């Protein structure tokens, strides 16, 4: 276990905002996890589980507590009747996991390529993209329960997945530290029809190969063309959640000419489209740039602190609401 003191949260998160965390503890084994949380209890300090930092926003005052980061590595696999069950340690970089699965011809997570983060973070907000989400393949997760200092296994049903939500970021936020995740992946190909942008890319580039590796390459190319690399431009990926509508709301939206995507996970309007139509694409607001390529993304070009982000967010939310009547909801969590 590695214990570091007074580490800037801005150095641990891709939006590059945030003052010092009193302690940052990196855990490399099951025993380290219990020791890290015991250390926090000993000094009466709050804890925060941090992954890659791509979905976390720091505050200027920092965090007077213990940030715990999973550094456990390893992937174990067991054959199933139609594929492979993978047990993935939480410190594995998520995109490396996707690459590993695709090379083996396994389908289920190929559309989740290029999502920055650690494997442990994937179930927290039920990551999803291009028609897939982690809930589609997740079987269970191993966790450390901070409420009674015990190790437990939670099943998919225990997690109560919904759009960008699970108990890990709602009813039981900060209770469980994710140690590993287990996925059931199948041999074969992702079923069609694919997400519109994938189908369009395949048509434009005359691609007929639907193997997991091919879909991974397509998704990676689409994301690279739209989304800034957080290592090169400070951002948190998609900053706002898409707008989900019930069937009646979807009909009303369509009657107004709004583009409604109807998929297995429900009816939605891309929040990036709303931001674009509100005239905000490419705008610099309080040091935060609304991405020209993907308006759903905010890029920290010159923000002096969290209050600049807060002001930019408020302006975007207000303008979208004034024009469309929809309230945008922030996707990244806040470390405070």
| Alpha-carbon gap, residue 65 to 43, rounded angstroms | 9
Percent of the chain topping pLDDT 90 = 92
Catalytic residue among 238, 271, 289, 291: 238
Cα torsion at 247, 252, 258, 263 (round to 10°)? 10
* 255 noted as active-site residue: no
- The 10 Å CB-count burial string (b at 16+, else e) for 186-212 is beeebeeebbeebeebbeeeeeeebeb
Q: Distances from the Cα of 21 to the Cαs of 7, 8, 95, in angstroms?
A: 5, 6, 27
pLDDT of residue 163: 87
pTM: 0.91
* 164 noted as active-site residue: yes
pLDDT of residue 231: 81
Catalytic residue among 164, 223, 289, 313: 164
User: What are 166-195's pLDDT values in tens digits?
Assistant: 999 999 999 999 999 999 999 999 998 898
Cis peptide before 292 (omega within 30 of 0): no
Tokens of 18: 């945030």
pLDDT of residue 61: 97
The CATH code of the domain at 2-70 is 3.30.43.10
* 331 noted as active-site residue: yes
What ranges do the domains of the chain cover? 2-70, 75-187, 235-335
User: What are 130-158's pLDDT values in tens digits?
Assistant: 989 999 999 999 999 999 999 999 999 99
**What CATH fold (topology level) applies to the domain 235-335?**
3.90.78
How confident is residue 261, by pLDDT bands cut at 50, 70 and 90? confident
| Alpha-carbon gap, residue 176 to 247, rounded angstroms | 35
Helices 212-226 and 94-103, packing angle to 10 deg: 150
156-169 average pLDDT score? 95
pLDDT of residue 159: 98
103-129 average pLDDT score? 96
SS3 290: strand
The DSSP-derived string for 109-133 is SGGGTT--SBGGGTTTTT-EETTEE
Catalytic residue among 26, 189, 254, 331: 331
pLDDT of residue 228: 86
Nearest to 123 by CA among 170, 63, 78: 170
pLDDT of residue 336: 85
Q: Distances from the Cα of 235 to the Cαs of 10, 55, 164, in angstroms?
A: 11, 9, 19
Selected from 3.40.50.150, 1.10.287.610, 3.30.420.40, 3.30.465.10, the CATH number assigned to the domain covering 75-187 reads 3.30.465.10
């Amino acid at each position: 276990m590695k214990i570091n003191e007074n580490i800037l949260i801005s150095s641990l998160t891709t939006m590059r905002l945030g003052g010092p965390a009193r302690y940052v503890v990196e855990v490399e084994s099951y025993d380290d996890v219990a020791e890290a949380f015991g250390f926090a209890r000993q000094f009466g300090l709050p804890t925060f589980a941090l992954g890659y930092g791509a979905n976390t926003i720091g505050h200027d005052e920092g965090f007077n507590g213990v940030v715990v980061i999973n550094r456990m590595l390893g992937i174990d696999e067991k054959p199933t009747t139609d594929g492979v069950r993978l047990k993935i340690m939480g410190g594995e970089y998520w995109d490396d996991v996707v690459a590993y699965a695709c090379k083996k011809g396994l389908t289920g997570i190929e559309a989740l390529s290029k999502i920055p983060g650690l494997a442990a973070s994937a179930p927290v907000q039920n990551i999803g993209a291009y028609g897939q989400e982690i809930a589609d393949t997740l079987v269970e997760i191993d966790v450390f329960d901070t409420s009674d200092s015990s190790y437990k296994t939670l099943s998919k049903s225990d997690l109560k997945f919904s759009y960008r939500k699970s108990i890990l970021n709602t009813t039981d936020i900060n209770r469980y530290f994710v140690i590993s995740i287990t996925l059931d992946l199948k041999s074969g190909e992702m079923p069609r029809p694919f997400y519109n942008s994938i189908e369009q890319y395949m048509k434009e580039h005359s691609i007929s190969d639907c193997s997991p590796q091919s879909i991974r390459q397509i998704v990676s190319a689409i994301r690279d063309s739209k989304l800034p690399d957080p290592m090169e431009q400070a951002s948190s990926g998609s900053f706002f959640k898409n707008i989900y509508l019930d069937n009646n709301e979807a009909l009303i939206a369509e009657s107004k000419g709004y583009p409604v995507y109807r998929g297995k996970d429900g009816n939605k309007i891309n929040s990036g489209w709303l931001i674009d139509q509100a005239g905000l694409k490419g705008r610099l607001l309080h040091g935060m740039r609304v991405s020209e390529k993907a308006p759903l993304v905010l890029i920290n070009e010159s923000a002096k602190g969290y209050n600049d982000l807060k002001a930019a967010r408020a302006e975007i939310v207000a303008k979208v609401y004034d024009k469309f009547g929809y309230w945008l909801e922030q996707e990244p969590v806040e470390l405070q």
